[in-house]
Amino acid sequence: MTEQTRIELIKGNIIEAKRFGNPSITENGYIAVEDGVIAGVFAELPERYQNLPVSDYTGRLILQGFCDMHLHAPQFPMLGMGMDLPLLDWLKTYTFKTEARFADADYARRVYRRLTEELVKNGTTRVCIYSSTHADATLVLMEELERAGVSGFVGKVNMDRASGECQETTEESERETLRWLEESARFTRVKPILTPRFTPSCTNEILDWLGKLSQERGLHVQSHLSENRAEIELVKKLHPDCQQYWETYEKYGLWKEKTIMAHCVHSDEREQDAMIRHNVLCVHCPDSNINICSGFTPVRKMAERGVWLALGSDIAGGAQLPMLQVLTGALRMSKARAIATEGAEPFLTVGEAYYLATSAGAKYFGDAEGFAPGNRLHAVVIDDGEFPESTRTLTTKERFERAVYLAGAQDIVAVYGDGERIR
């Protein structure tokens, strides 16, 4: 520690997802943060920090900041629309028409400012997020995320086939992607990620070009996989040389370390094994999978087999942006699957779902699990004082579980992102 070190001490009931299981709880403990980086979690304040100012949230709950690992920013205006349609019909009827509006950068600014404010209000501090096909709107999204204090990866979507009103030509897709990448260099909190929307909307030419670009520049990749049975059948027709959906990405160099694949509802063990071998992140989007009737993802089985799983809101297929609601959606879907299998597949616990909503995604950004020393601080402080009065004194674990189900933006009193207080 030097005289120039910026030290912040935060006190409260600290709840960490150190593993896929029960959370670790330090009651009325301290998080010590030096220059935005966690120095440690302490039950008692160490001597070296005595007599320093404390952000005192005694009695309140301090959770890790949430990671939304899959969402579509230009779909924010269509939340709650078209929920009676299956995936491919929903895309044609609502999604492509809505995303086409983002050719207007001023419109994008209005929408994305509201979106980023809502993310922070609800404790989402890191994202892996899709923009539209428009490079200028994608840059606006990156600007608004940085302004709000949200960090992560942002993708300009590529789609040069069967994409309705927002379809690009292959040449345009390549040219605008390169321009977007060049202009993205100015950002610090957010970085670019290559984003072929999904195999049906991309020609072989653009997939091949993106794969080579990814390898040349060391860029991460995000897309969709095995979300819907009709989608899977379409992929088989488009790529008869591939036995499974995931191989359409592999053959172009897009299936690699830290590739993100959303959904994976119908991924069998062979496809799951390919995820495990290549350390591909599967993002479970429970609200979306229910809304457009894609199916019940076997989250418990996948986790036990060693698949890397995290959670995503997948707006606007998912109608809930707050990650606490996504978390409880994952619990409900898991319980529905347990009922359907007559208990053969046990449901997720609150602690396990909390891990998927926090530490599992944070690993993508290089963090260790929980509030580990060396991580930059991402935290959400919840005041549960306005919840219905209990008939007895609750344990901190019980209060945490209750907060997962009941807390909303109105109960969040502070949000820390990338080492700074952003709300």
CB atoms within 10 A of CB 337: 21
The C-alpha atoms of residue 393 and residue 376 are separated, in whole angstroms, by 34
Check if the beta carbon of residue 266 is closer than 8 Å to that of residue 302.
Answer: no
Which H or E run includes 400?
helix 396-406
| Of the candidates 7, 142, 146, 120, the residue with the CA atom closest to the CA atom of residue 65 | 120
CB atoms within 10 A of CB 411: 20
Pairing status of strand 281-284 against strand 308-311? parallel
Which H or E run includes 421?
strand 420-421
Contacts with 89 (C-beta within 8 Å, 6 or more apart), sequence order:
none
Q: What's 160's DSSP letter? A: -
Angle of the 323-340 helix axis to the 350-357 helix axis, nearest 10:
130
**Residue linked to tokens 């499974």:** 244
Q: What is residue 54's three-state secondary structure? A: strand
Check if the beta carbon of residue 37 is closer than 8 Å to that of residue 374.
Answer: yes
Dihedral (CA of 384, 385, 390, 394) sign: positive
The C-alpha atoms of residue 217 and residue 196 are separated, in whole angstroms, by 16
Angle of the 170-183 helix axis to the 135-148 helix axis, nearest 10:
30
pLDDT in tens, the chain (423 residues): 556 899 999 999 999 999 999 999 999 999 999 999 999 999 999 999 999 999 999 999 999 999 999 999 999 999 999 999 988 899 999 999 999 999 999 999 999 999 999 999 999 999 999 999 999 999 999 999 999 999 999 999 999 999 999 999 999 999 999 999 999 999 999 999 999 999 999 999 999 999 999 999 999 999 999 999 999 999 999 999 999 999 999 999 999 999 999 999 999 999 999 999 999 999 999 999 999 999 999 999 999 999 999 999 999 999 999 999 999 999 999 999 999 999 899 999 999 999 999 999 999 999 999 999 999 999 999 999 999 999 999 999 999 999 999 999 999 999 999 999 999
Identity of residue 409: A
The pair of structure tokens assigned to 167 is 């379809």
Backbone dihedral angles phi then psi of residue 194, each to the nearest 5 degrees = -70, 140
Burial of 282 (0-12, 13-18, 19+ CB in 10 A): buried
The C-alpha atoms of residue 319 and residue 83 are separated, in whole angstroms, by 9
The C-alpha atoms of residue 107 and residue 409 are separated, in whole angstroms, by 25
**pLDDT for res 3:** 61
The C-alpha atoms of residue 316 and residue 83 are separated, in whole angstroms, by 9
